[in-house]
Amino acid sequence: MRFHLECNQLKTTEVLISGSKSISNRLLILKSLYENISILNISSSDDTKFLENALQSIDRNEINIGHAGTAMRFLTALLSYKTTKNIKLFGSNRMHKRPIGILVNSLNELGASIEFIKNSNFPPLLIKPAKMVGKKIRVRSGISSQFISSLLLIGPKLKGGIEIELDDIKTSFPYIEMTINLLKKIGVDVNQKDRIIRVNEHNKIVPIEILVESDWSSASYFYSIVSMADIGFSLTLKNFIKKSIQGDSLVSRIYESFGVSTLFSENKIIIKKVNKSNSFIKLNLSANPDLAQTICVSCLAQKIDCELTGLHTLKIKETDRIIALVNEIKKFGLKPNYSNDSISFRAVPNKLKSGVEINTYQDHRMAMAFACLAVKTDIIIKNPTVVTKSYRDFWSDLKKIGIHFKKS
């Protein structure tokens, strides 16, 4: 399936984005460990649905989590602590190419019993019952912050708690901070100093109701759209707060360089195009790599020179996002330079090509980032349904603001 997108005129309106996928997934794991947690405004994403379904199936012999990378990592830790029988944990072909050895080795060091079924370092996994005990461990944290979050989430249930020494506090660290904040919110004693994180044992919590704030990474696509609009255009996004625990809330500051202002008003934000974009964008996104595709497309659309670094984790996402970006940007006549952790390109003065067909590589963020180009030119998105992985209402929300599509 393909969507042919076009936009005659953007509409100023309100958009309600569902709860943060990252917060929702962490709370689901905590709810499985501490039953008296109530979650409001949970994410409607496929990833969260996969995790919810998997958590309802932990008494089965096999669990298939599909493309849901977060579910694979979080469930590996949870099941290693909770399971009372052997369980096979597996996913899609792409999932079986995403390394998980660092997490597995750390869990086994804590007493877990996890085996690689086919290839060392990769799913599928066989998780056996074991008695885990907390201790101090050192973990390579430069590959994926989710390895650390997985350990932190089960940490308070381990005898003696857990102490983790990180070798890198630059890679996606806001996601680790999110996990720490949620643990503290339910009453767990967590201390972090430099590279050391200490989680104390905590077996029971008082009943608590948690409202999940809306997803800032999903909001980034609307920042991109507003950045391409005429000066004066604005959109309102509901259920966002200024003191967010999401690292991707940094998007509000990043897009100031694209001439977009953010006004916080109660539980919503008004984002408005107030100035021209800068002619050159240079950013280190080691803490916010999920914003890379959106920023690249914003630069492409507005003929802005772009230089992004700190992207090493993009190679083990749903696809190799650096290569995917390079392939699609080339279709517009640009000649991007890239490495294992960076991408850069210089703007070309030519008119933005119309009718370019974008491959999405089974990657939700490729589809959504390039869909924003419809503000400037007609665009074709292949396999558009991939967006449901993180943002189930994306296409209907685009329609609300004046971006229309035809199926083919």
pLDDT in tens, 213-250: 999 999 999 999 999 999 999 999 999 999 999 999 99
Asked if residue 194 has pLDDT above 90, the reply is no
Tokens of 383: 């396999």
Residues in the chain: 408
* Residue 211, pLDDT score: 92
The CATH label, of 2.130.10.10, 3.40.50.300, 3.30.70.260, 3.65.10.10, for the domain at 21-211 is: 3.65.10.10
> In the predicted model, what is the mean pLDDT of the chain?
94
Which residues of the chain form CATH 3.65.10.10?
2-18+214-407, 21-211
Asked if residue 171 has pLDDT above 70, the reply is no
* Residue 205, pLDDT score: 95
Closest CA to 72 of 87, 162, 294: 87
Higher pLDDT: 127 or 60? It is: 127
The CATH label, of 3.40.980.10, 3.30.429.10, 3.65.10.10, 3.40.50.300, for the domain at 2-18+214-407 is: 3.65.10.10
Write down the pTM of the prediction.
Answer: 0.89
**Site of tokens 């944290």:** 141
* Residue 220, pLDDT score: 98
Question: Got the DSSP string for 120-134?
Answer: TTSS-EEEE----B-
* Residue 164, pLDDT score: 96
Closest CA to 293 of 325, 315, 253, 271: 325
Cα–Cα distances (Å) from 121 to 70, 77, 114, in that order, read 16, 15, 11
* Residue 382, pLDDT score: 97
Closest CA to 132 of 85, 182, 79, 188: 79
* Residue 68, pLDDT score: 82
* Residue 170, pLDDT score: 66
Residues with catalytic function: 290
Closest CA to 343 of 360, 361, 323, 372: 323
Asked if residue 310 has pLDDT above 80, the reply is yes
pLDDT in tens, 352-366: 999 999 999 999 999
